[in-house]
Amino acid sequence: MYLIYLRKSRADRESEARGEGETLARHEKALTELAARMHLPVGAVYKEIVSGETISARPWMQRLLIEVMQGQWEGVLVMEVERLARGDTKDQGTVSEAFKFSNTKIITPSKTFDPSNEFDEEYFEFNLFMSRREYKTINRRIQRGRMAAFQDGWYISGTAPYGYEKVKKKENKGYVLEIVPDEAKVVRLIYHLYTHGEAQSDGSLQPLGSYQIRDRLNHLCIPSRSGGAWSASSVLDILRNPVYAGFQRWSWRKIQKKIVDGRIVETRPKDDACLKVRGRFESIITESQYAEAQRIRTEKPLPKNGSNTLQNPLSGLIFCSKCGSLMTRASSNTKTNYHVLRCPNTQCNNISAPLLLIEKKLLASIASWIPKYELEWPEETPKNSASIISFRENAYKNILQDYTQAEKQLSNTFDLLEQGVYDIKTFQERRRVLEEKKSALETEMTRLKKDYDDAKAREKARQDFIPKVKSLIEVYWTVEDAPTRNKMLKEVLQKVDYLKETRNKKGQGKTANFFLHLYPRIPKDL
């Protein structure tokens, strides 16, 4: 069985822009006809919609390589070998080794590469090397053009920042930014509140931080660019963006790669010292306003407590029942020195409660599970458990047989084309119908396989669940550190919904008048 792999190149996208037709459709037709002439049965067609430099950015290429390494395909049909790998040397080596060690052929309209032939192997590797050189040459030319346009003041980023719209200048010279009056007023308000402040009752001005500005904008019902509520990070991004003072920046968040635990990890740190040039657009604020905002932002003192150790044993578990936000730990705003769990959404009116009180009620609720689950789940395996697993296994095996039959039917279409029973049009229509059927069966097969695996995993977890709950109840309060407590809770809980609508009266601070809805790792209904 053979596979067709389709991917667009940069030149293909340019030809499509000139009206030369959809590339993948033309390539699929050409490779299908090639397969028919060579009597090669095609089992699947993988179409790479996204365009990425590396294999990690191309999901269908990742799937292809896995299946090639597993020996699933006799060969892969592709327009040129360059379509398989144009990334770095490591990616090219991965592709080369996958085809070599699995003895999988690469068939192109001009040549068939047999990995067992040392001359073909050398020619294949040479093609990949030349492809990489061509890619780097093209990329350098594009980056030089972008840099030249950037230094000339043209706006080269993808989207316009809040306060501006991106406009194409006549004669295709490039893009510039034009001010959006209503949004520009909001930008000026943000800078004014941050650098000067908000008028107080005594006539003085009180500068506001990003969180306070966020609250003011949301209170005034001013929509963000997305139409939703403002966030503090959005406000801070506006305050540190030099575009509002008439400058644009280059490589502000340049990708940096480093090896962590044997893997390449990409980060995009913010670099305020990046290259800046004056753009071909009008500024919204003055340079002095921008400079003052940067001075205030950079001179703010760092938090005294710089520890990254987890302090909240309920971290990542408690969610607000009203708005769905993840509840966070905070110090109480009363004279009593204790921590509370609160909803971070300033528009939500869910009332906070002492963290320790929530913790105690949570443990009591978990403890109440034990007699219920022991009653519902006796030590011996339930009679219906084995039948459920058996039923799902049979359903999966049945769909697998249908899928195998569809593959055979798809393979037979090539024989009928070769024998002259099908013409190209009939062959393509029949292949399309069978591929759609095969795809639907594959989706259903994946679902049934997951149901079968889930049933087996749930049965195993059922047997382990009660011992975990008992151990948690016995040792929880003897553990001092929050990270260990948090880990223990997450072994038996998926999440917990929290709701409190009535404030405690004076002297009733220890009353747990809130509601917790627990979601155990193992549902009661198996």
Domain ranges of the chain: 2-151, 164-298, 309-526
- pLDDT value of residue 19: 47
pLDDT digits (tens, 9 = 90+) for 359-389: 999 999 988 877 776 665 554 445 455 666 6
- pLDDT value of residue 20: 44
Low-confidence ranges of the chain (pLDDT < 50): 18-21, 302-307, 379-381, 383, 524-526
pLDDT digits (tens, 9 = 90+) for 433-450: 888 888 888 888 888 887
Look at residue 184 and give its three-state secondary structure: helix
Burial profile 311-322: b = 16 or more Cβ within 10 angstroms, e = fewer: ebbbbebbbbbb
- pLDDT value of residue 63: 87
- pLDDT value of residue 325: 85
CATH, domain range 2-151: 3.40.50.1390
Residue with tokens 């029973």: 421
Q: Are the beta carbons of 123 and 113 closer than 8 angstroms? A: yes
Strand partners, 46: 5
Provide the whole-model pTM: 0.45
**Structure-token pair, residue 138:** 């093209």
Neighbouring C-alpha atoms within 13 Å toward the C-beta of 24: 12
Tell me the C-alpha distance between 142 and 74, whole Å: 38
Q: Does domain 164-298 have CATH number 3.90.1750.20?
A: yes
